[in-house]
Amino acid sequence: MITTDWNGGAQVDECLAADIKSIAAIKALKDHPNLLVFPHSFTKYDEGFGEKCICTFDEEEGKIHTNNIVGFIGKNKTQLTIRSRFTKNLDEKNDEDYFLHYMLQKVFGVHIFDLKHTTSKEKVFDFSLYLFPHLLKKALRQGVYREYQTRHYNDANVRGTIDVSRHLRTNLPFAGNIAYRTREYLYDNDTTQLIRHTIEHIRCHKWGANILSCDTETKDFVSQITQVTESYQKNQRQSVINRNLKPVRHSLYTEYEPLRKLCLQILRHEHLKYGQKKDEIYGVLFDGAWLWEEYLGIVLKESFNHYLKGKGKRWNLFDTGQQIIPDYLSKDFSVVADAKYILLDKQKSYRNEESATAIYYKTITYMYRWNAKIGLLLHPVSDSDSVKISRHQIIDTEGCVIKVGFPIPKHATTFGEFSETMRINEVEYKRLCREYIQSLR
């Protein structure tokens, strides 16, 4: 089944209904090893995100209602694809979600131009590849993972516990060697071996070179993993997978758990492609609003600082507290901006989305907090070929809320053409936002 986010209701075949109902809630799914939900840290991004639903099922109408969640999820023979509503119409011949692919590549620093796919299961694998450099860098920035490993030796330099039974089996008649074992704090361990096997698996993919060398930091970290995993053997892959089924729980290496899950998903791709156990759940899901906010943060980084819950600076609204975190602030604090992943130019709301009035409240509050005369609402539009501007002067004040609609290409026939149009639109979008800042100087 293919649908969009905030679909307003889509009919479901009876044969799919049971599976779709069982995969509707994120909270019940996040521990499945073959399902990756992004952002992986619910509390750092949005305390309520883990409680959200992928969709809700209307028993009477036989329809599902989606929200901000996009991506792919499957169970048994049911495959649910949720595309961005800002992409091309579902009834058009090309069913690729160019907008989603473009945002993912921009946010995760990967550049791929050939998007010819055959099944949703292959798209799950492709999306996993987008994430690998990002999660690899987050994990390796905490240092190369080390843990105690048991090593077995048989030589004359005893530095551990003698293994009597093995010694008797291997060293009679005695020739000077002694069998013993040690506990050593090593870089070459099950976790780094899993990462190494994933790297070698990606090398064999047609996009492998792009993925593993997308930037200098990724290349350096790939090299580090390769150097420390001296005991790597390709034929040990399944054994390595089996030894990494338990979560990584180390207070110094908190970013390795998301990477472990991703590595397992990538290495199990063939298993998913050619058949899986009954009721096994797989896929990759993203919060569309989070992705849009991250994307704009990259596009506008020259003029705005981007702030996220759980990292960076925080401010109080009142002298007594009430913490607030704006999406973006201009470098000189003269303009505040808020990312809105909604059809803001339509002045309509979807089920459980912000009401038309409440959309403005947070931005106006931030304008007042930083004494800013301009507040920008940054949203996508799908019915325009150029940036769409709508000004709203706040009565009896100098303040002005401006809705700046980013045009999503709708006539592109290839992903390369779509990407080129997006880059042109980004240049214009950055120029307009920069002019609003300069107008206040």
Q: Are residues 76 and 90 located together in one domain of the fold?
A: yes
d(CA 399, CA 389): 16
d(CA 105, CA 131): 9
d(CA 138, CA 336): 28
d(CA 69, CA 53): 8
Range of the domain at 173: 147-186
- As a 3-state breakdown, the chain gives helix, strand, coil percent values, each rounded to 5, of 40, 25, 40
Beta-ladder partners of 167: none
Nearest of 254, 258, 310, 309 to residue 284 by alpha carbon: 258
On whether residue 383 sits in a domain, the answer given is yes
On whether residue 306 sits in a domain, the answer given is yes
What is the pLDDT, as a whole number, of residue 16? 82
338: left (phi over 0), alpha (psi -120 to 50) or beta: beta
On whether residue 414 sits in a domain, the answer given is yes
Q: Measured on CA atoms in the order 102, 103, 106, 108, is the torsion positive or negative?
A: negative
Do the beta carbons of residue 312 and residue 320 sit within 8 Å?
no
Q: Are residues 153 and 45 located together in one domain of the fold?
A: no
What are the CA-CA distances from residue 166 to residues 152, 160, 172 (Å)? 10, 14, 10
What are the CA-CA distances from residue 242 to residues 35, 153, 198, 246, 281 (Å)? 17, 24, 14, 9, 18
What is the pLDDT, as a whole number, of residue 43? 44
Q: Are residues 334 and 423 located together in one domain of the fold?
A: yes
What is the pLDDT, as a whole number, of residue 413? 82
Q: Are residues 311 and 428 located together in one domain of the fold?
A: yes
Work out the angle at residue 230's Cα, subtended by the Cα atoms of residues 224 and 236, and round it to the nearest 5 degrees.
115
Rg value, the chain, Cα: 26
Tokens linked to 126:
């492709």
Q: Are residues 311 and 401 located together in one domain of the fold?
A: yes
> Which residue spans within 333-387 are E strands per DSSP?
335-339, 374-381
Q: Are residues 133 and 164 located together in one domain of the fold?
A: no
Q: Are residues 215 and 66 located together in one domain of the fold?
A: yes
Amino acid 330 reads S
Nearest of 361, 365, 362, 369 to residue 319 by alpha carbon: 369
For tokens 């906010």, what's the residue?
293
Do the beta carbons of residue 171 and residue 179 sit within 8 Å?
yes
d(CA 61, CA 289): 28
Q: Give the SS3 label for residue 154.
A: strand
Domain boundary among 235, 265, 287: 287
The number of distinct structural domains making up the chain is 3
Q: Are residues 137 and 281 located together in one domain of the fold?
A: yes
Nearest of 263, 257, 281 to residue 54 by alpha carbon: 281
Q: Measured on CA atoms in the order 283, 287, 293, 297, is the torsion positive or negative?
A: negative
On whether residue 198 sits in a domain, the answer given is no
Do the beta carbons of residue 433 and residue 304 sit within 8 Å?
yes
Nearest of 88, 107, 104 to residue 96 by alpha carbon: 88
What is the pLDDT, as a whole number, of residue 351? 45
What is the pLDDT, as a whole number, of residue 429? 95
- Rounded average pLDDT per 10-residue block, the chain, 441 residues: 86 83 74 73 50 80 87 83 79 70 90 62 73 93 88 83 85 86 85 96 86 91 95 93 90 90 85 60 86 95 84 80 89 92 66 62 92 94 88 92 92 87 95 87 59
Q: Give the SS3 label for residue 318.
A: strand
On whether residue 246 sits in a domain, the answer given is no
Q: Are residues 165 and 137 located together in one domain of the fold?
A: no
Prediction pTM value: 0.84
Q: What are phi and psi of 328, to 5 degrees?
A: -145, 145
Q: Are residues 402 and 328 located together in one domain of the fold?
A: yes
On whether residue 245 sits in a domain, the answer given is no
Q: Are residues 274 and 372 located together in one domain of the fold?
A: no
What is the pLDDT, as a whole number, of residue 394? 92
Q: Are residues 157 and 127 located together in one domain of the fold?
A: no
What is the pLDDT, as a whole number, of residue 306? 92
On whether residue 89 sits in a domain, the answer given is yes
